[in-house]
Amino acid sequence: MRTSSEIIELILNIAKEDNNIRAVLMTGSRANPDCPPDMHQDFDIVYFVSDMNPYWDNDAWVEEKFGKPSIMQKPESMQLIPPDNDGNYAYLMIFPDGNRIDLQITKETYVDDGEPAILLLDKDGTFPEIKVKEDYWYIRKPNQKLFSDCCNEFHWCLNNVAKGIAREELSYAMDMLNDCVRNMLMQMLEWYIGVNNNFSVSAGKKGKYFKKFLPDNIYMRFTKTYSDADYEHMWHAAFEMLYLFDEVAKEVAGHMNFLFDVDEAKGIESYMKQVRYK
């Protein structure tokens, strides 16, 4: 597997040899000092160019410059997943040695929104100053409305989980459990981590740092919310979600001086038991 320095050298050499590429920026986890480095990190790279045409849906250019990827996705050339149509083009590439490069090509002027980024090359010396906000990825404090909406969405969608299990509609019940309901659980767990760390940490994309920041007992209960396709196990996962959510939500509410709707929580618990034990 090529080293990080070898990949960066490749990326820069391609840019240096191409007069149309004027600047190179690295974003993502490799630009984030709070993200622990490992061999699986992507290289999130932006080429700032003066002309987009040479790079638009051009597999031959990719293979000539970077080598042939083992697998590649070109979001702007897809139909199943509608493209952004913002004038930029991206190549998401995994190479035979395991390295992944997510390359975005753009004519746009860089706008600093605070996201961690590292300027690797500036041929013109005119690249805008990058002022990285240290708290860019930190968990944000909710207000009462956001908190209450999260609770309501979580509790409400559990009714669909219960009906889906009772009807043995596997894919529907699983989707409700692992999309609608889980998203709200993970949001509440993020706020729980936030209140216990002064909102000065990141839980990572899709909660990937939960194991690091959640107490062991809470994390172990979180793992029990994942179920296989056995309907009895799905019931256990759904109730584990309910009890875990309500416990951490009450703690968040206590820290933030929010109101937690106990009647709503009891109402969905009663309904779920009614459906399960009908």
Beta bridge partners of 46: 25, 104
Spell 98-122 as b/e; 16+ CB within 10 A means b. ebbbbbbbbeeebeeeeebbeebbe
Q: Tell whether 199 and 117 lie within a shared domain.
A: no
Distance between CA atoms of residues 189 and 270, nearest Å = 23
pLDDT at site 34 = 75
- Which structural domain, as residue segments, surrounds residue 211? 144-276
Cα 138 to chain centroid distance, Å, stands at: 13
pLDDT at site 246 = 98
CATH number at residue 43: 3.30.460.10
pLDDT tens digit sequence for 122-144: 999 999 988 877 788 899 999 99
Domain-terminating residue out of 122, 155, 175:
122
Q: Tell whether 193 and 83 lie within a shared domain.
A: no
Does residue 172 sit within a domain?
yes
Does residue 272 sit within a domain?
yes
Count of structural domains, the chain? 2
Does residue 132 sit within a domain?
no
Q: Tell whether 117 and 151 lie within a shared domain.
A: no
Does residue 204 sit within a domain?
yes
Q: Tell whether 99 and 29 lie within a shared domain.
A: yes
Does residue 130 sit within a domain?
no
Q: Tell whether 272 and 148 lie within a shared domain.
A: yes
Q: Tell whether 115 and 173 lie within a shared domain.
A: no
Does residue 137 sit within a domain?
no
pLDDT at site 126 = 92
pTM strictly above 0.85: no
Mean pLDDT of the chain: 94
Burial class of 262 by CB neighbour count within 10 A (0 to 12, 13 to 18, 19+): exposed
pLDDT tens digit sequence for 11-43: 999 999 999 999 999 998 898 877 777 888 899
Distance between CA atoms of residues 217 and 191, nearest Å = 17
CATH number at residue 198: 1.20.120.330
Q: Tell whether 153 and 216 lie within a shared domain.
A: yes
pLDDT at site 77 = 94
Q: Tell whether 175 and 221 lie within a shared domain.
A: yes
Domain-terminating residue out of 92, 122, 152:
122
Distance between CA atoms of residues 142 and 253, nearest Å = 10
Q: Tell whether 52 and 168 lie within a shared domain.
A: no
Q: Tell whether 107 and 155 lie within a shared domain.
A: no
Please spell the DSSP secondary structure of the chain, one letter per residue.
Answer: ---HHHHHHHHHHHHHH-TTEEEEEEESGGG-TTSPP-TT--EEEEEEES-SGGGTT-HHHHHHHH---SEEE-GGG-SSS----SS-EEEEEE-TTS-EEEEEEE-SPP---S---EEEEESSS-PPP----TTTTSPPPP-HHHHHHHHHHHHHHHHHHHHHHHTT-HHHHHHIIIIIIHHHHHHHHHHHHHHHTTT-S---GGGTTHHHHS-HHHHHHHHTT---S-HHHHHHHHHHHHHHHHHHHHHHHHHHT----HHHHHHHHHHHHHHHT-
| CB 31 within 8 Å of CB 117 | yes
| Spans of the chain below 70 pLDDT | none
Does residue 171 sit within a domain?
yes
Q: Tell whether 149 and 263 lie within a shared domain.
A: yes
